[in-house]
A and B are shown apart, each in its own frame.
Chain A
C-alpha cells in the first residue's frame, strides 16, 4: 500500500513541484550561512540600490543587487528563507498542538466538551486575526518569538475543525471499539488508535496553515509589527524597499516573488496530499 501511494504521488506534477520548492527552501534555510556570498547585515552606504547583475547597471559582484543600505540582496533573500520556514514550522507546531488537542477531545467525548470546543472555534473565527496580531505586537513590542506565539494562538481553528470531524467519524469504528474491549486506557485509544488514523488529514491542514503563517508573518513584518529589523524577513524587505519601488521595481519584485513561490510550493504539496486521500478540506 505505501509503495503504490508513493508511486502515485511521484506521478503527480503538483507534488513534484511542491516537494522540490519546499525541499529546496528547507535546504537553503538550513545551509544559509554556507550559501551566502556576503554577510546579509553588513551595510555599505557607497553601494546602495545596485540593480541585479542581469539588469542594466548591474554589478556581477551582487547577483540580485543591493538594498537601500547597500546590503547584498541575494544574501538577505537566503536568510529570509530561513525566517519564513522557521516561522511557518513553529507556528504549525504551536497551532497544531492547540487545535488538535481541542478537536480530538471534542470529537471523541462529544457532549459538553464538544459544545465548548465548537464555541471556542466559533469565537476564534469571529476575531479579526491580523488586527489582533498587530495590536498585541504593538502592546508587547514585536519580536520573533512573539510572532510565532501570536500566529500559533490565532491559527489553530482549522486544525480543531478537521481533527474534530475526523475523530467523530472514527470513534465508533470497529478497531476503536476493539481497543476498548481489550481494556485499553483512554490515553491509549486516543494516542494509538485515533491520532494515527487522522494524521494524513492533519498533514493537509498543516500545509495550509504553514502557507498562511508564512503569508501573515510577511504581512505583519511589512506593517512593521512582525519580525524586527535588521532581520531580513521578506515582508520587512518589501516594506523597507517600498519607498524606492517606483524607480527600481525590482527591489520589491524579488522578495515578493520568493514569498509567492514558497507559499505556492507549500500549497502544491498540500493539494497533492489531499488528492491522494480523495477528500476535500478546503473552506
Chain B
C-alpha cells in the first residue's frame, strides 16, 4: 500500500514539474513576450526597456530556473495589469471558482446518480434508452449557448435568477447547472454500467435469496459497489470542471480564477495566465491522485496494480 502510494505520488510530482515547464515554454516560444507586454503602440525603445525590466534579456535557462524556483514556492511574480501579487489575485478569486465547481458537481451527482440507477434497474427498456438519450443531449449541448439561453429564460423572461454576477448566492445556480451539463453524461453512463455489473453479481443473488427488500438490495449491495468508480470519476470530473470554468465564468461574470484568466489573456498579462493554468493543473493532479488513493482504499484488489 505504501509502495503504491509513493509510486503514484512520484508520478504526480513529475507530471506537475512537466506542466510547470510547459507553462513556462508556452509564454516563451509562442511569440515575443516583451512585444506582447508592451502593446501595439510601443516603440522599439519601450520594448527594449520592458525586456530589461522583466529580465527577458537573460538566457532562457536562467529565466526558467529563476521562474521555477519562485513558482514552486508559490511566488508567481507580479501582475502587469492589476499591479498586485499574482498569488494574492488567485487566492482572492479561488473561492468563487471552487464554489462554482462544487455546485456544478453537486448538481451533476443529483441528476446522474438517480438516472444511472434507474437505467440500470430497467436495463434495455424504454427508460434505459431515454436516459441514454438524455446523456447524449447533455454531451452535445454547447455550454456557452446553454448559459445564454438560461439567462434569457430564467434571468430576463421569468426573472427568477440574477442574470450575472456572484454578489448573491443565487448567482451560482445557473452557472452551476451549465457546468454540471459537462459532467452529467459520463457520470450517468458510469453509474449505469457499474450498477448493471453489481446487480449481476453473486452477492446480489444471495441477498435476493435471503429475501431482502428490493430497495435494500439496490442501496446496500448494488449502489455501494457501483459507487467506487463513480467517486473517483467525480473527483476527476471536478478537475475538468474547474478547468472548463473559464467559459462559464466569463459568460456569467463570476469573478473567479477563470474570469481572472480571461481578463489577463485579453490584457496580455501573462504571469497571471501562466499561474492560473498551473494552479488548475495542480488541482487536477491532486484530485486524480486522491481518486486513485480512494480507489485503492475502497477496493483492495487495485492496490497491487
Chain A, range 100-145, C-beta contacts under 8 Å to B: 119, 122-123, 125-132, 134-136, 138-140
CB within 8 Å for A215 and B142 given contacts A130-B244, A134-B246, A136-B26: yes
Which listed segment binds A: B54-62, B65-73, B85-93, B280-288?
Answer: B280-288
B42 within 8 A of A: no
Q: Could you jot down 5 A-B contacts, CB within 8 Å?
A: A126-B284, A134-B262, A252-B148, A256-B149, A282-B185
A204 within 8 A of B: no
Q: Which residues of B contact A (CB under 8 A)?
A: 11, 14-16, 18-19, 22, 26-27, 30-31, 36, 132, 136-137, 139-145, 148-149, 151-152, 156, 185-186, 189-190, 193, 233, 239, 242-244, 246-247, 250, 258, 261-262, 265-266, 268, 270, 273, 276-277, 280-282, 284-285, 288
Complex CA gap A181/B18 in Å reads 41
Contact of B143 among A136, A219, A253 (CB under 8 A): A219
Q: Are A283 and B186 in contact (CB under 8 A)?
A: yes
Chain A, range 213-243, C-beta contacts under 8 Å to B: 215, 218-219, 222-223, 225, 235, 238, 242
Supply 11 further A-B pairs (C-beta < 8 A) apart from A135-B265, A219-B144, A222-B247: A123-B19, A127-B22, A127-B277, A128-B243, A131-B276, A134-B262, A211-B139, A256-B148, A260-B140, A260-B141, A263-B140
Number of A interface residues at 8 Å Cβ cutoff, please give it.
43
Number of A-B contacts (CB under 8 A): 138
Q: Are B250 and A223 in contact (CB under 8 A)?
A: yes
A174 within 8 A of B: no
A280 within 8 A of B: yes
Q: Are B136 and A268 in contact (CB under 8 A)?
A: yes
Q: How far is the CB of A271 from chain B (nearest CB, A)?
A: 7
A66 within 8 A of B: no
Q: Are A219 and B273 in contact (CB under 8 A)?
A: no
Q: Are A126 and B142 in contact (CB under 8 A)?
A: no
Contact of B19 among A127, A135, A211, A223 (CB under 8 A): A127
Q: How far is the CB of A251 from chain B (nearest CB, A)?
A: 10
Contact of A139 among B30, B136, B185, B258 (CB under 8 A): B30
